[in-house]
Structure 1
Amino acid sequence: MAQPAETNCPDKNRSDGGFSETTSQFPSKARIRQSGLPDIWPYIRRQRRDILVILCCTFALGAIFHFMRTPQYRSEASLEVTKVQPFPVETITSPAGTDIEKRFLHTQGEILQSRALAERVAERLNMLKDDAVLIALTGGRANDSRDAEHRKNRVIQKLREGLSVHLSDKSQIIGLSFESPDPALSRAVTNAYIAAFVTANVQQQFDSTRYAQRLLTERLREMRKELAYAEKALNKYARQHDLLRAGGTAMGEADDTQQSMLGAALGQINEVLGEARAARIEAQSRWEAVVDSDPLTSPEVLASPAIQQLLQRQANVEAELEKGNAIYLPDHPDIRRLQAERKALKSQISRLANTIRASIGETYQAALTRENELVMQLRNLRGESLDENDASVAYNILAREAAAKRSQYRALLDRYNGLNNSSNTVQNNIAVIDEASLSMEPSSPRLLISGAVALMAGFALAAVWTLWRSQGDDTLRMSQDLSDKIGLPVLGMIPASEAGLSPMQELENGRSALSEAYNALRTALTHSTAKGLPPVLLITSVQAGEGKSVTSYAIALAFARLGVNTLLVDVDLRRPALHHLLDCLNDDGLSRALEEGVDPLGFIKPAGKNHLFRLTAGPVPDNPTDLLSDPRFETFLDNARLYHEVVILDGPPVVGLADAPIIGSLADGTILVTEANRTTIRACETAAERLRCANNYLLGTVLTKFTARSVGRHLSYQDREYWRYGVGARAFDAVPAGRV
């Protein structure tokens, strides 16, 4: 079952058996998928004559333009241009070499196309005075120039317009060509361009060298003055602040590796202080070893030769005294002499040991005094050194400035010497690969190119023409237009009837393409709602002549063939057509019954088919809308539901009339018939909106008179063969497809 849709129209509750909803079942316009450009092929088919005329006209114009153009002859040459350095230059950070080469070649190409080089060529070929050359170049008169300046500008303009330069990204080859009406002139101008380019390149190198020499000379003179001023300022500052080196020179007069006087003194004092501190430490160790102990226990005292001799003598006296005590009495003179001598030796040893210890203490005191004196000197020199460092800040700045000036002067001098060495030689970086030759065939215009351009222009104009026509054409072509652009489901697509056969004749054959299409529509209607087929169906159309009456009859006939009791009612009271289709009288019908107040069921008659009944419209009334709005018409429809399983209402078209919305509001479902290749999308939208606003339950649409060729592409499932599936399908191939 189709889904309800949003609508801005008022809605009503219905009680018609549950076949309709309180809101319309279709999506709103905001939710309809916007389609892109329309399928262009149908428009191409319809505009094929205009397209053919456009192509023929553009081709003819191209041919006329081709034969009216003056033949042009092109002379070509090629040069090899390499990048050289005419004189030493500073090293500059640049991109990769390939980019540099590309920029160089592009620069050379711009030089070839410059006005200055064109003036050289004009002067070389005497174009500014030779009328014959000017006529051959411009293709006009030589005396048409107002003055010499105008003549010169015209010649230069023609030279630059005829010149073409071709650069290669993979080599250093530059292609050069010139095009003019005279082949000899083209060759002469091309060769003149080559000669002028080589001459200009050599002249540019000479000019660049002279300019560089003049520039470097001036710069060297300025740099010499700046260097002298920087050196003088540096030396003056060094002398003012006594920043002298160890050799006696001022800082800045000699190389920077020499130390200042103060720095040398600091170094010497540091060295002497180290030695004095080592001597003091050694003396202190000796003194601490003897100051608080017996001197005779000190190794240094014992190591004295005098102490050793006295100790030896004391040992000898002790030995003699021990022997004498064993022989003599204590009062013996020898014993007394030995005891006196021993006492004298001990006294000497003691005095000598104390003397040695005092000498060690004096040595330590002398070393300590020396160390303290050196420390004081070092402290004084450090203060002076800090003062010197403060003064060296400005000195270092001046020294760096002088060094920078010295380096710049040296670099400029090297460049100047190198430029003088290369000034007498010129490097020719241009080599002629191919000289210009005489062209025997014109390079333009070419017939194939002119024809191709004319055809391309024709196709472009034809495409613009077709697109312009297609943008203004919103005619329905296929079912996708209804579903995508309008949002209406397509219940069926009815093919156009075959040529030579009327729709009624085709419907008599149950296996015809038309019958099979309406059988498919019957199946779609059977499943159009959740409760099956609505009992009362209104068949209407956007406008007259779209096949709604044939569709109404075909649907009724399709259900009757299934054994369904079907009633076909012609409710188009303004322009009835059912009696024409069935070839019957229209005297007694719906309008007469409603006007006379009788039951229309009494005018129902068999339609000549089993289970199929008809009720014609009757005579055309004065006011059909009033009759259809009469409650008796609604009563008739309710009674028809009781006696017939399906009631098919062949209604009037929607656009411009109020009849169809009124009838649709009483029916259980409405089907909108649209004709392919005739009904517009805007008209279909308007009709569907009117039906929705009248609370019609719109089941969907039927696309009639459809042909696969009108779609603009081959769609096998939409071809007539689709409705001829089965045995004997080829029986219809002999009849070509046409329109009703």
Structure 2
Amino acid sequence: MSNEPAMAAPVAGPAAPDRDDDEIDLLQYWNIVRRNRFLIAAIAGICLALALVLTLLATPIFRAASMLQIEREAMQVLNVEGLVPTEAGGAIANEFYQTQYTLLASQSQAQRVAQDLNLIADPHFKEAVDAVDDKLPAVERAVAQRREVADALLKMVTVEPVRNSRLVKVNVDSPDAGFAARIANAWGDAFIAANLERRFDASSYARKYLEERLAQLKARLADSEAELVNFASQQQIISVGEDKPSLAAQNLGDLNGALATAQQERIKAQAEWNQAASGNGLGLQQTLDNPVIQNLRTERAKISGEYQEQLRTYKPGYPDMQRLAGQIAELDRQIAAEIGNVRASVKAKYDAAQQQENLLKSRITGLKGDVLDLQNRSIQYNILKREAETNRQLYDGLLQRYKEIGVAGGIGANNIFVVDRAEVPENPYKPRLPLNLAIGLLLGLMLGVLAAFARHFMDRTVHSGPQLEQLTGRPVLGVIPRLDDGVTPAEAALDLRSPFSESYRSVRTALQFATTHGLPASLLITSPNASEGKSTTAMELAHNIAQLQKRVVLIDADLRNPSVHKLMSLPNGVGLSSVLSGAADIAAAMQRTAGGLPVITSGPIPPNPPELLAGEGLTDLLSALSSQFDVIVLDGPPVLGLADAPLLGNKAEATILVASADSTRNEAVTGALARLTAARANVLGSILLGYDLKKGDSYGYGGYTYYNYGNNK
């Protein structure tokens, strides 16, 4: 059973799908962080230590806080409308509180506290006081000192509103805990006092203004009332009271009522007279109510009845009958006389009612003229009267307002209260060691990650197989792990199960599928620069191919800085340069190692290697060796800066470009590949040497960490 892992995927497997340039490769980022974990840890440790040192060296700062309650409307001891701000909401309320917060942190507030506590003489502000120029006049110097102290004080104070409430904290930070508490309490007291003073000043201004207005209105009221009285006296206008008509108008009203009554009486009397004037008058109510007439009528009825009774017996001419007829006639005359008196009484009553009505009409006609004349004269009177009333109302209103402001100003309404007074803090507010350490650690990790990414993206060297494959556009035939310090490639190759040996066998397997006929007949191993491991690779590939029972010959084609003879402890007196120059034949130049591997060393270093490599000698040599060996492995010189490698690449059937992990620059790889391509070299792929397995990254093809496969026993 072979121990060789299947490593042909990079060559024979399907091509990896194209990645979008904008796609975020989280695994790549994670690998960057993991590869630079020690750098990140170092930077984080430095930041953590720096945070610790700065925290321990920092001066402890104590914070004292007092809490105030700010109401938009002051407590109403008296309900005096307009003397205090009314409750408002929305944007108006927000503006109010923002104004209060600004006043709390204002220069005037700081100067008031400084003055109340005489902070100019306080040692805490000695530096600010001494900063003022001594050459200033005394007054200006005092003002400048107060301003400097206030500025220094403001730097110690922060205003912190409590969300969703009417409370606000006044925080004072100072190295002196007691001083911080004293400033915090004095700050709230000064703010309340300043608020009361503003209210008192506002009421004083209002009182002064009202006093001036009252004096003006009082004089105007006196003038308007005097003008009204003079006009009334001149026009003989007598006022009987507010909202009452004049005397003439009252008399006219009374006469109109009397006229209506007189008309009713006249109509009634006229109806009675009409009734009395027509007919015999016996149906009149006065007749019916007259006892004399009723007695006479009763007497006549009695005598008339007696006459009718006697008429049955006697003739009308009979004396008794004549006597009775005479009595009846006398009674009729008396009744008619009484009825005439009644009619005369009704007529007199009618005449009197009509006369009274006529008199009232005459009087009313006269009064109408007087009232109209009075109304004409009262137009100006009413104007003057309304002006006087208006002035009186204004005067009374301002007088009442003046009294209310005087009472409210004396009470001293306040809308700011101290909820909690500041106490002397026992523990420092800052520096806070846990927080600073956490910030230092977080900042260090962030800086470390940034440094890792900066290091990665600024580093132009090859780090991984996928990166090398992306640079060359050709498959990576193998990734050779880095050897531990003190271990030589020869020693590592002795352990057939080591990652070093396994990786070269993987390269050999990939080469078996690199061409249609299997292993290439001639294989050039080169690198962009010197000392990148091409010679070790050439030797290991030669040994591994020989293990397949293939005839292999190793040629040191680096005619400028040969190393195969040193690595294999072989003499270098006769070699490739000797064969190419015709100084020796192939048999004389060929040597064998202890393991039996045929080797042709470089031979003496020629003065002009490109001339030897460009001649027909190299072609003849490769042709001759091809008839004897299955594979010819050429250890070539570096590509960049020399013409040797492109010449060899043009002659060899296949070329492998070797790069050193974390050493070979990207530009060197692309430049070397461009030169080889220009020389029409058949570059099969590349090999990455010196890869650090401790990075823990996979090869990059499906995450298969093949180096440790079967090596954990």
TM-score bracket relative to the smaller structure = 0.5 to 0.7
- Is there any run of 5+ residues in structure 1 with no aligned partner, and where? 1-24, 222-409, 732-740
Tell me whether 580-589 or 156-165 shows the greater mean CA deviation.
580-589
Residue in 1 aligned with 2:230?
none
Residue in 1 aligned with 2:693?
708
Residue in 1 aligned with 2:507?
521
From 602, 605, 609, give the equivalent of 1:617: 602
In 2, Cα distance between equivalents of 1:59 and 1:88: 61
In 1, Cα distance between equivalents of 2:73 and 2:639: 87
Q: Which amino acid aligns with 2:99?
A: T
- Quote the offset at 1:73 in angstroms: 3.1
Residue in 2 aligned with 1:80?
69
Q: 1:558 to 1:143 in 2, by over 3 A?
A: closer
Say whether the 8 Å CA contact 2:43–2:447 is kept in structure 1.
no
- Please give the per-residue CA displacement for 1:74-112, whole angstroms capped at 9, x wherever unaligned: 2211111122289878xxxx9x94555444333221110
Question: Are 2:637 and 1:652 equivalent residues in the alignment?
Answer: yes
Residue in 2 aligned with 1:546?
532
Tell me whether 635-644 or 171-180 shows the greater mean CA deviation.
635-644
Residue in 1 aligned with 2:567?
581
- Quote the offset at 1:538 in angstroms: 0.9
Q: 1:161 to 1:53 in 2, by over 3 A?
A: closer
Give the TM-score normalised by the residue count of structure 2: 0.60
- Please give the per-residue CA displacement for 1:552-602, whole angstroms capped at 9, x wherever unaligned: 122222222223333322211222222333333333322111111766477
Residue in 1 aligned with 2:180?
186
- Quote the offset at 1:178 in angstroms: 1.6
Question: Are 2:31 and 1:45 equivalent residues in the alignment?
Answer: no
Residue in 2 aligned with 1:148?
142
In 2, Cα distance between equivalents of 1:464 and 1:619: 52
From 113, 116, 125, give the equivalent of 2:108: 116
Matches within 5 A, 1:309-320: none
Residue in 1 aligned with 2:558?
572
- Quote the offset at 1:124 in angstroms: 1.8
In 2, Cα distance between equivalents of 1:497 and 1:416: 106
Residue in 1 aligned with 2:576?
590
- Quote the offset at 1:465 in angstroms: 6.4
Question: Are 2:616 and 1:631 equivalent residues in the alignment?
Answer: yes
Secondary structure of 2:119's counterpart equals coil
Q: 1:459 to 1:693 in 2, by over 3 A?
A: same
Residue in 1 aligned with 2:479?
493
Residue in 1 aligned with 2:169?
175
Residue in 2 aligned with 1:158?
152
Residue in 2 aligned with 1:537?
523
Question: Are 2:654 and 1:661 equivalent residues in the alignment?
Answer: no
In 1, Cα distance between equivalents of 2:551 and 2:143: 102
- Quote the offset at 1:42 in angstroms: 3.8
Say whether the 8 Å CA contact 1:62–1:454 is kept in structure 2.
no
Residue in 2 aligned with 1:687?
672
- Please give the per-residue CA displacement for 1:503-530, whole angstroms capped at 9, x wherever unaligned: 1233244333222101111222233356
In 1, Cα distance between equivalents of 2:402 and 2:583: 125
- Please give the per-residue CA displacement for 1:114-157, whole angstroms capped at 9, x wherever unaligned: 011112212222334xx2xx213456777976321221112111
Q: 1:184 to 1:725 in 2, by over 3 A?
A: closer
Matches within 5 A, 1:118-517: 118-128=110-120, 131=121, 134-138=122-126, 146=134, 147-208=141-202, 424-425=407-408, 427-448=413-434, 472-484=458-470, 487=473, 489-498=475-484, 501-517=487-503
- Is there any run of 5+ residues in structure 2 with no aligned partner, and where? 1-14, 135-140, 216-392
Say whether the 8 Å CA contact 2:47–2:443 is kept in structure 1.
no
Q: 1:73 to 1:730 in 2, by over 3 A?
A: closer
- Quote the offset at 1:113 in angstroms: 0.2
- Quote the offset at 1:166 in angstroms: 0.6
Secondary structure of 1:647's counterpart equals strand
Q: Which amino acid aligns with 1:168?
A: V
Q: 1:541 to 1:212 in 2, by over 3 A?
A: farther
In 2, Cα distance between equivalents of 1:136 and 1:671: 78
Q: Which amino acid aligns with 2:147?
A: N
Tell me whether 714-723 or 685-694 shows the greater mean CA deviation.
714-723
- Equivalent residue pairs, number: 501
Question: Are 2:687 and 1:699 equivalent residues in the alignment?
Answer: no
Q: 1:581 to 1:473 in 2, by over 3 A?
A: same
Say whether the 8 Å CA contact 1:136–1:182 is kept in structure 2.
no
- Quote the offset at 1:213 in angstroms: 8.4
- Quote the offset at 1:627 in angstroms: 0.5
Say whether the 8 Å CA contact 1:79–1:431 is kept in structure 2.
yes
Q: 1:492 to 1:138 in 2, by over 3 A?
A: farther
In 2, Cα distance between equivalents of 1:559 and 1:105: 87
Give the TM-score normalised by the residue count of structure 1: 0.58
- Quote the offset at 1:638 in angstroms: 3.5
In 2, Cα distance between equivalents of 1:534 and 1:168: 82
Say whether the 8 Å CA contact 1:209–1:419 is kept in structure 2.
no
Q: Which amino acid aligns with 1:437?
A: E
Q: 1:465 to 1:722 in 2, by over 3 A?
A: closer
Secondary structure of 1:567's counterpart equals strand
In 2, Cα distance between equivalents of 1:703 and 1:50: 30
Residue in 2 aligned with 1:674?
659
Q: 1:143 to 1:592 in 2, by over 3 A?
A: closer
Q: Which amino acid aligns with 2:105?
A: Q
Q: Which amino acid aligns with 1:193?
A: W
In 2, Cα distance between equivalents of 1:638 and 1:527: 23
- Please give the per-residue CA displacement for 1:150-207, whole angstroms capped at 9, x wherever unaligned: 2111211122111111112221110112223433332222222111211222333344
Q: 1:73 to 1:54 in 2, by over 3 A?
A: closer
In 1, Cα distance between equivalents of 2:550 and 2:197: 107
- Quote the offset at 1:468 in angstroms: 6.2
Say whether the 8 Å CA contact 2:656–2:686 is kept in structure 1.
yes
Q: Which amino acid aligns with 1:474?
A: R
Q: Which amino acid aligns with 1:105?
A: Y
Secondary structure of 1:510's counterpart equals coil
Q: 1:576 to 1:424 in 2, by over 3 A?
A: same
- Quote the offset at 1:641 in angstroms: 3.6
In 1, Cα distance between equivalents of 2:640 and 2:399: 98
Secondary structure of 2:581's counterpart equals helix
In 2, Cα distance between equivalents of 1:647 and 1:150: 94
Q: 1:429 to 1:126 in 2, by over 3 A?
A: same
Secondary structure of 1:497's counterpart equals coil
Say whether the 8 Å CA contact 2:462–2:666 is kept in structure 1.
yes
Residue in 2 aligned with 1:269?
none
Q: 1:507 to 1:446 in 2, by over 3 A?
A: closer
- Please give the per-residue CA displacement for 1:206-238, whole angstroms capped at 9, x wherever unaligned: 4456667899999999xxxxxxxxxxxxxxxxx
Q: 1:52 to 1:445 in 2, by over 3 A?
A: closer
Q: 1:164 to 1:473 in 2, by over 3 A?
A: same
- Quote the offset at 1:631 in angstroms: 1.8
In 1, Cα distance between equivalents of 2:398 and 2:21: 79
Secondary structure of 1:494's counterpart equals strand
Q: Which amino acid aligns with 2:117?
A: L
- Quote the offset at 1:608 in angstroms: 5.7
Secondary structure of 1:39's counterpart equals helix
